[in-house]
Amino acid sequence: MRSLASSAASNLLSLSLSEQQNHVPNQKVEHRRCSDMKSIRTVPSHASKTARRRRRSVLARASSEEEPTARNNDSNARRFLVVNYHRQESDYDGFGLHVWGDVKKLTEWDEPLFPTSSMEEKDHHPQFETFKVELDGTNSKIVSVLLHKGEEEDVRAESMKVPSGEEDVEIFLVSGYREIWQDKPDLDKLPKGDICSQRAILLDKRLVALPKDFNGVKDDEETSVVAVELYSSKSGSLKATADGVESGDPEDGNVQQAILSRVDEGSIDVAVKEKFPAVFNEKCFAFYEIGESAVPDAKMKALLKTQLAVGTKKIVDGSKKSAKKPLKKS
């Protein structure tokens, strides 16, 4: 089952393809691993060189080649890693912070830390929930954190190096992003989507399953029409930006290949449902077709050898609802 990356001018995911499919022999999803993608780094353009140097000194990734730090901690000094966490839908209920590393108290998976946002913190960061992790002394620390709700994992920040000192260290994490910000990010200017998530699934040559919790594909969508678009890159250079989906390789040219059509689940062939019972039993996917008129068979065969992603783009319309149509059986 090949996972697409879903994307949008608002969101982006990667597309993955089933290894069971006969029309793409021996193809693996690893044509573009997340580790090969350039991480998205948001740094305000107006920031001074001094500010950027300060950010780099506040928090850096740990290196195995670093000199070991001294162990003479000041046990009387209380120092915290302050984690500010944002979710786009403000649905924070149940999400806690799992912590490990050089901290005063490790957390159990079933007993995470919960937000401790004060009124002052709410006024300062109204779009974030704040967690406070007490560090084990004032020397340099290596700390990892993970936001989760039961078994549902969200954003994580692993092996962060917190420098020595007596002041608290503050970071910002945003659901769906791997970046660690030392300054509060402008949420309206963040690149949208995650090319590494591979949550959309290409069930066969033309049928795409897109999770209903992905932006704009909920069944109760009544205030807008959602266009689901297919993107591809021969060089595996797709990326989500504030303006939509683009390629880092100029030779890719226009990466948008087609607009997909919503199909009714009842019209999908029984053989497909039996092949992917987990997809259909969970009732958490919506289904879309890559039309033959937009992408002929020869072109579709070529696209299956490239990096693929799908994305949603909302079209403002107060009266229409995205239409569903039967899937043409081939």
pLDDT above 50 for 177: yes
List the CATH number of the domain containing 229.
Answer: 2.60.40.1130
Taking the C-alpha atoms of residue 81 and residue 73, their distance in angstroms, rounded to an integer, is 16
- Asked whether the beta carbons of 30 and 231 are under 8 A apart, the reply is no
Q: What is the mean pLDDT of residues 161-188?
A: 90
Mean pLDDT of the chain: 74
The domain tally of the chain equals 2
On whether residue 321 sits in a domain, the answer given is no
84 Cβ neighbours under 8 A, 6+ residues apart: 125, 128, 129, 130, 131, 170, 171, 172, 173, 184
pLDDT in tens, 296-316: 999 999 999 999 988 877 665
Residues 199, 303, single domain; the answer is yes
Residues 179, 251, single domain; the answer is no
On whether residue 325 sits in a domain, the answer given is no
pLDDT above 60 for 4: no
Residues 103, 177, single domain; the answer is yes
Count Cβ atoms within 10 A of the Cβ of residue 275 and give its class: 0-12 exposed, 13-18 middle, 19 or more buried.
middle
Residues 202, 173, single domain; the answer is no
pLDDT in tens, 223-243: 456 788 899 999 988 887 777
Q: Is 148 helix (H, G, I), strand (E, B) or coil?
A: strand
Residues 134, 177, single domain; the answer is yes
On whether residue 63 sits in a domain, the answer given is no
Per-residue pLDDT, 292: 92
Taking the C-alpha atoms of residue 89 and residue 95, their distance in angstroms, rounded to an integer, is 13
Residue that is last in its domain, among 157, 189, 221: 189
pLDDT in tens, 15-60: 654 433 333 333 222 223 333 322 222 223 333 344 444 444 444 4
Residues 161, 203, single domain; the answer is no
CB atoms within 10 A of CB 183: 17
282 CB-side CA count, 13 A: 12
Q: Report the number of secondary-structure helices (H) and strands (E) in the chain.
A: 5, 17
Range of the domain at 157: 74-189
pLDDT in tens, 97-139: 999 999 999 999 999 999 986 667 677 788 999 999 999 888 8
